[in-house]
Chains A and B, each alone.
Chain A
Amino acid sequence: NAQTNAMTSQKNIQSRNWYLHDSQWVKFNDDEIVSTQNTFNENPKQTIADV
């Protein structure tokens, strides 16, 4: 239907995330964001900015 067509043709609209707080960044591990690591992980860990 028209709505589904509109949705499938919509570009992948993205925005930037906030930077992590220093205290989060020092504990962060980039394996979280390297795609090959999460291929088989159902619930990949996702650190987001602690605003």
Chain B
Amino acid sequence: MSLLPGLTDSNQATDLFVDANEVHKLVLKEETEWKVEIPSSSKLTITIRSGIAEIFGTELANDVEYTFSNWKISLSAVENVILEWKCPDIPNKDLMIEPNTTSKYVYNLHFGLEKMRNSSFNGPRILVVGNANSGKTTLCRTLCSYAIKFKSYQPLFINLNPHEGIFSPPGCLTATPISDILDVQSQTWGQSMTSGATELHSKQPIVKNFGLENISENRSLYWDNMNQLSNAVNERLQNDVIVQRSGCILNTPSLSDLDEEFNELVTIIDRFKVNIVVVLAEQDEFTLFEKVKETLRPYIGDFLIRLPKLSGRFEADDAYKRSLQRTAIKEYFYGTPKTILSPYASGADFEEITVWKPINMVEAQGTTSTSNPLQLLPVTVDASTLQHALVAISYADRKSSSSEVQKASILGFGLITEVNEKKRKIRILLPVPGRLPNKAMILTSYRYLE
């Protein structure tokens, strides 16, 4: 081992060398959790040596090395756990290990849902609401994981929060039967269908593309996508006995993204036939909880539960949420380190593509295009509009009218990597090998650069 140039103290050099690759042992007592923030461009590996450890409800197998990056996670010890971890950028001191004060509420809720599943052909349909960072997504992920742990249920996970990409890129409303284990290493919960055999199970979601960054930019469009999704969900439930029996788990955007009178929650309850609502709120948010209760009581009666905000949660800032969105786009095209996907680069002439975009009602204020908020606007193909853009590829033919495109199903997504205005050609990254399908495309607000 040679000293680094400039270092004269050999002890100092030893410390540097040892820390980078040192495997640390950690003992977690039952009912505690280790909250860890993994710095971006760093990797944390964890191997459980004994005991039961969970992340978002999914158990980690013993003696398997798991890798996490660019994430804030909390590892929960269900029983006493002995683990080994390694991360060059996390010092082995002042680790955030705290009692898990909310796990009992989550278990009780899960067992309540199990009882409902066991006693009816119509499984529970549970809506999770709360303010930003209250733990809604975490609760949903945990309930999904618990539902499939011991029995072969297939709860339908419905994501109504377009800010989060779950089994899809961001900007989507989705419904996915959770028919097998979730990928604990994936921020998007796992992969949607891929070719070939995968180590981990892939899911088959239905994906509606909202495409704008904020619901407030076009509420009518958000509701139209929601309606299309609920129609498909209700038809699937009629056709699929196992999913119907397992019920639905619905994730929502932060309450601040929805209207103050909670009318939108009422519409969701009606469309998706929700029969339980869980509000994640602290004791001192009593007025919030009371207001939700009063508004929703006529629709769900007393099936409204308050849970405290989950103890493992972090305050996630906008920069962190944007990095999660970025990862969701990356995972769609490139997969994860365990399931590497090879996207396909294709070329097309400007004349061969048709691109639409939804109206951003906030930007369009005062102009004539606000008359029909669901109308799609044609997009001029040039570098300023399309470079690095995530586009949704429709099932609708390229020559279809904008209203046909607006109602059509989504094939998938493409990423426009290059727009050559001189040659009038684009290069687009596709998830499936072959030519760019002769279909209409819809521009989203999302951009991705390597």
Contact = CB atoms under 8 A, between A and B. Distances in A.
Contact of A30 (B179, B206, B340, B437): B179
A17 B194 contact: yes
Contacts, number: 105
Range of interface residues on B (Cβ < 8 Å): 35 or more
A28 B176 CA distance: 11
Contacts of A15: 194-195, 341-344, 431-433
Contacts of A19: 192-193, 205-207, 409-412
A4 interface: no
A43 to B, nearest CB: 16
B195 A14 contact: yes
Contacts of A28: 204, 236, 240
A14 B232 CA distance: 29
A33 B154 CA distance: 12
Contacts of B339: 14
Given A51-B395, A51-B411, A16 B431 contact: yes
A24 to B, nearest CB: 9
Nearest to B410: A19
A49 B439 CA distance: 14
B412 A16 contact: yes
A35 interface: yes
A37 to B, nearest CB: 10
Nearest to B393: A18
Contacts of A30: 154, 177, 179, 204, 240, 242-243
B294 interface: no
A27 interface: yes
B239 interface: yes
Contacts of B295: none
B395 A21 contact: yes
B1 interface: no
A14 B197 CA distance: 9
B50 interface: no
B332 A16 contact: yes
B202 interface: yes
A24 B194 CA distance: 17
Nearest to B152: A34
Counting chain A CB atoms within 10 Å of each CB, which of B180, B204, B236, B411 scores highest? Answer: B204
B236 A25 contact: yes
Contact of A21 (B177, B205, B242, B409): B409
A25 to B, nearest CB: 5
Interface in B144-200: 152, 154, 177, 179-180, 191-198
B179 A34 contact: yes
B232 A26 contact: yes
Contacts of B335: 14, 16
A16 B232 contact: no
A47 B437 CA distance: 19
Given A33-B201, A34-B179, A34-B201, A14 B235 contact: no
Nearest to B243: A30
Interface of A: 11-23, 25-31, 33-35, 49, 51
5 contacts: A11-B340, A15-B342, A19-B192, A19-B409, A19-B410
Top-3 shortest CB links A-B: A30-B179, A16-B431, A26-B235
Interface of B: 152, 154, 177, 179-180, 191-198, 201-207, 228, 232, 235-236, 239-240, 242-243, 332-333, 335, 339-344, 395, 409-412, 431-433, 437
Given A17-B192, A22-B232, A30-B204, 6 more contacts: A13-B342, A15-B432, A19-B192, A21-B409, A25-B206, A30-B243
